Structure 1
Amino acid sequence: MIMRNLPLVLLLAALLSACATRDDPSRIRQVAQDGTLKVHPGLLGEPVPAALQTPQSLAAKQADETPMRMDEEGLRTQRSVYFDLDQAAIKPDYDPILQAHARYLARHPSARVRIEGHADERGSPAYNQRLGLKRAQSVRATLLGHGAGSGQVAVKSWGKAKPKLLGRNEEAWAENRRADVIYESEK
């Protein structure tokens, strides 16, 4: 019986594969350039126009300052440091904003911050409490290393008690694995 159906299955497979179409590479480039999502020509394997090229030092400076703002307005809005699962190590992406917070604290000796460490809902309450504290201490150590005064930075752990995003999925868990920089005047 299997041998009798085999030619039919092969015929159907051949018909379906014949219906497939190949994307036109020139059309892909046109859509990429003309559509709502612009693509840098270098990503399409084309030469990069001089107008899109920037000197290396300027490009490096822009990369260092983007997307995090280093001014005081940026400090008011960029307060969370996010962590990988079961980790308290600060990712290099967060160093510029922590440097900016430390500079602010160094320039304003009366300013005080509280670093609140958080964890996602996975893990025991005791484990999440310890992990939140480690995250807060890691942010504190980075701030102190960048010039903030030791008396200016306190730590607290909320464990999983204060989630930023409710949910039982990776998006919510990732949002809740964090430490927040809270300026004391905002109690």
Structure 2
Amino acid sequence: MRPIPLILLLASLLSACATGNDPSRSRQIAQSGALKVHPGLLGQEVPSELQPATPVVAAAETGEKPMRMDEEGLRTQRSVYFDLDQAAIKADYDPILQAHARYLASHPQTRVRIEGHADERGSSGYNERLGLKRAQSVRATLLGHGAGSTQVTVKTWGKRKPKLLGRNEEAWAENRRADVIYEQDAGK
């Protein structure tokens, strides 16, 4: 008879423990009748009563809130957030900027100011330039989607107007942004 290697013995003991009838390891769902599955998961058409009231753009992988694309979304989704030391607009913000640009194109009397911001790290001069680059990136995107050049101006605040005070990643991430400020908006 050959001795059983210690690793095989430990592995069999661990698997026996893991597959035991420990109630904390498994949960059963009480359900009567047939299991109901959302039709969208099955590749089928989703009935209107199961669809969201307004289209929502997927949230950024960083855990940001989803962006609403309705009239309320245009009023509430006015900040574009950036990565550290970056002025490139993330793809997640393109749909909301398209919606703002469409609104501006259909309301030529409306004017917006894009205010660029940076977090507190870095010199004042560096953050002023970075805030300006961020504002210019948002402006260029709005113009590219149909907003008029006279409708969109830019301003930089650098690190002077933080949205969230603090010396941690949460505050810094909230302050790396550009805000769309409606200056003249008779339609809203």
Do they fold alike, i.e. is TM over 0.5? yes
* CA shift in 2, pair 1:65/1:172, >3 Å: closer
Helix, strand or coil at the partner of 2:83? coil
Q: Distance in 2 between matches of 1:118 and 1:79?
A: 13
* CA shift in 2, pair 1:126/1:63, >3 Å: same
Runs of at least 4 residues off by over 6 Å? 23-26, 56-59
Q: TM-score of the superposition, structure 1-length normalised?
A: 0.70
Helix, strand or coil at the partner of 1:150? coil
Total equivalences in the alignment: 152
Q: Distance in 1 between matches of 2:131 and 2:27?
A: 48
Name the structure with the higher helix share.
Answer: 1
Q: Distance in 2 between matches of 1:79 and 1:153?
A: 14
Whichever residue aligns with residue 134 of structure 1, its letter is K
Q: Distance in 1 between matches of 2:38 and 2:69?
A: 29
Offset of residue 68 of structure 1: 1.6
Alignment of 1:146 with 2:149, yes or no, is: no
The answer to whether the 8 Å contact 2:57/2:69 transfers is no
The answer to whether the 8 Å contact 1:65/1:96 transfers is no
User: Which piece of structure 1 moves more, 63-72 or 107-116?
Assistant: 63-72
Q: TM-score of the superposition, structure 2-length normalised?
A: 0.70
Match runs of 1:27-176 below 5 Å: 27=24, 30=27, 49=37, 51=39, 53=41, 55=43, 64=57, 67-176=66-175
Listed one character per residue, the Cα deviations across residues 79-128 of structure 1 (whole Å, up to 9, x for unaligned) are 00000000000000000100000000000000000000000000000000
- Structure 2 unaligned regions, length at least 5: 1-13, 31-35, 60-65
Offset of residue 160 of structure 1: 0.1
The answer to whether the 8 Å contact 2:101/2:143 transfers is yes
How large is the Cα RMSD of the aligned pairs?
3.2
- Structure 1 unaligned regions, length at least 5: 1-17, 35-47
Identical positions, percent: 71
* CA shift in 2, pair 1:56/1:77, >3 Å: farther
Listed one character per residue, the Cα deviations across residues 119-159 of structure 1 (whole Å, up to 9, x for unaligned) are 00000000000000000000000000000000000000000
Listed one character per residue, the Cα deviations across residues 48-107 of structure 1 (whole Å, up to 9, x for unaligned) are 946451548979x96647732222211110000000000000000000100000000000
Q: Equivalent residue for 1:181?
A: 180
The answer to whether the 8 Å contact 2:57/2:68 transfers is no
User: Which piece of structure 1 moves more, 118-127 or 70-79?
Assistant: 70-79
